[in-house]
Structure 1
Amino acid sequence: MSDSPAARLQVLFEGHRLTPTQRRIAHCMVRRAADAPFLSSVELAELAGVSQPSVTRFAVALGFDGYPALRRHLREVTPAETGAGADLNEYQQAVEAEIENLRHLAELLADPGPVERAGHLLAASRPLPVLGLRAAASQAYGFSYFAAKVHPDVRLLDEGGTMLADRIDAAVRAGATALLCFALPRHPREVVEALEYARAAGLTVVTVADSAFAPVAAHSDLLLPAAVGTGLAFDTACAPMLLGRVLLEALCDGLPDAQARLEEFDVGAAERGLFVE
């Protein structure tokens, strides 16, 4: 198991039945894992957008006497800083934080079971709808672009509005059995509603999200977490992007003719002079 602050928090939260408000606090702490041991209950409440008593109840739900006891525990299990990164500028610190996110993802992938299960679910769905709105739209597009080279019917859902439910319905009528969702902060309410609608329509929802405590978790059958970086003005999503490529590999493993389709594409691309070599 990774010794990163985010990994330690994930372990601490696992196995507890948390309310939506408590999941919001947990999600906030995972995103601010390095700062979490030093935040007051008021500061954490402000960051999570909840009340200070909610933070206290959250700590009690985890088995502590109160928030001060939770914070003491986090400080005890947090290794002392070595100061090795003290001379890094803000851009370098953002890169180092992303490297840590990738290390955490590598630790999670030590158990390939969830990704392999997701790959088979997605491979079996004909068509395969892929949802991603706002910040996650580029992740959904990238996955769909490559998946379409091996999967016979990939349907990108990267625009919201009243047509979104119609497109989910159309996919179900065409035979879809699963939906892949990329969900990144800030989480649009429309994505949560779309996942709830998709599950009610009978689809199995596989979600790549920035945290196991993201708002989409309650509406996902299989959630695969990959943290985003928060050190810059806009979040960075290297780990979710890489997890999407890992899912593509698992998808190919679930499609017996994937290699043949790739070779067919390469032959056609060469005949058309599609790429400059």
Structure 2
Amino acid sequence: MSDSAAARLQQLFEGHRLTPTQRRIAHSMVRRAVDVPFLSSVELAELAGVSQPSVTRFAVALGFDGYPALRRHLREVTPTESGGGSEKDAYNEYQQAVQGEIENLRHLSELLADPAPIERAGRLLAASRPLLVLGLRAASSQARGFTYFAAKVHPDVRLLDEGGTMLADRIDAARRAGASTLLCFALPRHPKEVVEALEYARSAGLTVVTVADSAFAPVAGHSDLLIPAAVGTGLAFDTACAPMLLGRVLLEAMCDDLPDAQARLEAFDAQAAARGLFIE
């Protein structure tokens, strides 16, 4: 993907209040920024997994008369570095899903060329005692995975992977105990409870760091620092290789700001060996 083409699309979408369906279209266009000026409305609809009328309404929401006008605009501002046939046509549907994730990881690599947001996030996560990690429904596995490894180096990590009325109580308890930061994993479909929890956390004085599938995710307005990592949409259920890897990158950045992280890891390894936890 051309990073400059993706950036131009991001600018085009900024300042518009988009519906969840429209955010999905925008996300798909960013992922295929170079190809999208050459796609028909039907092809874009198939790419985003929405209806063709949804694509038309999306173009109108951006201020164009319809999708043809939006496509003409994109052709005028996008260099012709792509064109017709694509290698993807040679892949079956399962390979296309893998190729889509490779593209997501490539985009994440481009994003990480500027390490400043990751380094800032690492400092925030390391300094929070306790550290809250939120992930509901589809994002719960990402939150659990992060928490499992973070607990090996961070003295107090608290997982929030269940919604309900107790969620605010647990945020309050962590805040009283000294928590300063909440890390949120937010993936589609975005539960209403996540948005409400982030709004509540910020009102309680917590800084919110979010890993989301897109900069246009519903949680964006409730995050102090959002780092996007796209999900794959080529299969019946979304795949989340890039968000998982971004979570590990954040772990690394957090470890860099925890002076006793290495000592804690060595202590865990010694204890694990003494208890015979793993089969080597």
Q: Which of the five TM-score ranges fits, normalised by the shorter chain?
A: 0.7 to 0.9
After TM superposition, list the pairs within 5 Å mapping 1:34-113 onto structure 2: 34=32, 37-39=39-41, 47=51, 55-58=59-62, 60=63, 67-75=67-75, 77=78, 79-113=82-116
Q: In structure 2, do the counterparts of structure 1 residues 169 and 130 end up closer, same or farther at CA, with 3 Å as the change threshold?
A: same
3-state SS of 2:87 partner: coil
Q: What displacement does 1:80 show? A: 1.1
* Structure 2 Cα separation of the partners of residues 16 and 198 of structure 1: 27
3-state SS of 1:224 partner: strand
In the alignment, structure 1 residue 11 sits paired with structure 2 residue 8: yes
Question: Which among 239, 242, 247 is matched to residue 245 of structure 2?
Answer: 242
* Structure 1 Cα separation of the partners of residues 168 and 53 of structure 2: 29
Between 1:97-106 and 1:64-73, the stretch displaced more is 64-73
TM-score, reference length from structure 1: 0.88
Q: Which residue of 2 aligns with 1:25?
A: 22
* Structure 2 Cα separation of the partners of residues 222 and 47 of structure 1: 32
Gapped regions of structure 1 (runs ≥ 5): none
In the alignment, structure 1 residue 270 sits paired with structure 2 residue 273: yes
* Structure 1 Cα separation of the partners of residues 69 and 265 of structure 2: 56
3-state SS of 2:89 partner: coil
Q: Is the 8 A contact 2:132 2:160 kept in 1?
A: yes
C-alpha distance after superposition, 1:220-270 (max 9, x if no partner): 000000000000000000000000000000000010110010011011111
C-alpha distance after superposition, 1:191-222 (max 9, x if no partner): 01100000000000000000000000000000
Q: What displacement does 1:26 show? A: 4.2
Q: Is the 8 A contact 1:9 1:30 kept in 2?
A: no
Between 1:64-73 and 1:240-249, the stretch displaced more is 64-73
After TM superposition, list the pairs within 5 Å mapping 1:127-138 onto structure 2: 127-138=130-141
Q: In structure 2, do the counterparts of structure 1 residues 75 and 91 end up closer, same or farther at CA, with 3 Å as the change threshold?
A: farther
Q: Which residue of 1 aligns with 2:147?
A: 144
Q: What displacement does 1:18 show? A: 1.8
Query: Which residue identity is paired with 1:56?
Result: V
Query: Which residue identity is paired with 1:100?
Result: E
Residue identity (%): 68
* Structure 2 Cα separation of the partners of residues 10 and 91 of structure 1: 29
Gapped regions of structure 2 (runs ≥ 5): none
Q: Is the 8 A contact 1:141 1:156 kept in 2?
A: yes
Query: Which residue identity is paired with 2:226?
Result: L
Q: Is the 8 A contact 2:59 2:70 kept in 1?
A: no
Provide the aligned length of Structure 1 versus Structure 2. 270
* Structure 1 Cα separation of the partners of residues 220 and 52 of structure 2: 17
Between 1:255-264 and 1:16-25, the stretch displaced more is 16-25
Question: Which among 166, 169, 194 is matched to residue 169 of structure 2?
Answer: 166
Structure 1 vs Structure 2 CA RMSD: 2.7
Query: Which residue identity is paired with 2:28?
Result: R
Q: Is the 8 A contact 1:24 1:215 kept in 2?
A: no
Q: In structure 2, do the counterparts of structure 1 residues 233 and 10 end up closer, same or farther at CA, with 3 Å as the change threshold?
A: farther
Q: In structure 2, do the counterparts of structure 1 residues 152 and 96 end up closer, same or farther at CA, with 3 Å as the change threshold?
A: same
* Structure 1 Cα separation of the partners of residues 144 and 192 of structure 2: 20
* Structure 2 Cα separation of the partners of residues 27 and 172 of structure 1: 34
Q: In structure 2, do the counterparts of structure 1 residues 49 and 181 end up closer, same or farther at CA, with 3 Å as the change threshold?
A: farther
* Structure 2 Cα separation of the partners of residues 160 and 173 of structure 1: 20
* Structure 1 Cα separation of the partners of residues 202 and 51 of structure 2: 31
Q: What displacement does 1:81 show? A: 3.7
Q: Which residue of 1 aligns with 2:207?
A: 204
Question: Which among 147, 172, 194 is matched to residue 191 of structure 1?
Answer: 194
Runs of 4+ in 1 over 6 A off after TM superposition: 48-51
* Structure 1 Cα separation of the partners of residues 54 and 169 of structure 2: 35
